[in-house]
Structure 1
Amino acid sequence: MLSEFLNMGGYAAYVWPVYGVAAVILIANLVTPWREEKQIIRDLKRRQRRESRGIQ
């Protein structure tokens, strides 16, 4: 039964790579905004420190 599922009716060579690609895309969609947010916050803090010292 499990082997039938994993074989996907003979289409496993096509189905499983698509699952892998979809997983990579979903992970990238989660990680990318998180990294960009960290970079934006870092830049804003840096800008705020510069402006508080009077350097623009």
Structure 2
Amino acid sequence: MSLENFFAMGGYAFYVWTSYGITLAVLLWNLFAPIVQRKQLLRQLALKQKRAQQ
């Protein structure tokens, strides 16, 4: 079995690699989305607190 055959996936390469790509994108989204949301929330809370002190 050559490396070319491995990447060809028996004729199903497009579907296999597309599914890998989509899975990777979803996993990365699940990793980074909460971090971004937390930063936004902390920024909003700091702004509200600043307004309340004025």
TM band (smaller chain): 0.7 to 0.9
- Unaligned 5+ residue runs, structure 2? none
Aligned position for 1:39: 40
* Corresponding position of 1:30: 31
Percent sequence identity over aligned pairs: 42
1:31 positional shift: 1.7
Unaligned runs of at least 5 residues, structure 1: none
**Helix, strand or coil at the partner of 1:14:** helix
How far did 1:50 drift?
Answer: 1.1
Distance 2:44 2:36 in 1: 12
C-alpha displacement of 1:27:
1.3
TM-score scaled to structure 2, two decimals? 0.84
Q: Which region of structure 1 is more displaced relative to structure 2, 7-16 or 36-45?
A: 7-16
Moved over 2 A (4+): none
Report how many residues are paired.
53
SS at match of 1:31: helix
Partner residue, 1:7: 8
Give the Cα–Cα distance (whole angstroms) in 2 for the partners of residues 13 and 36 of structure 1. Answer: 34
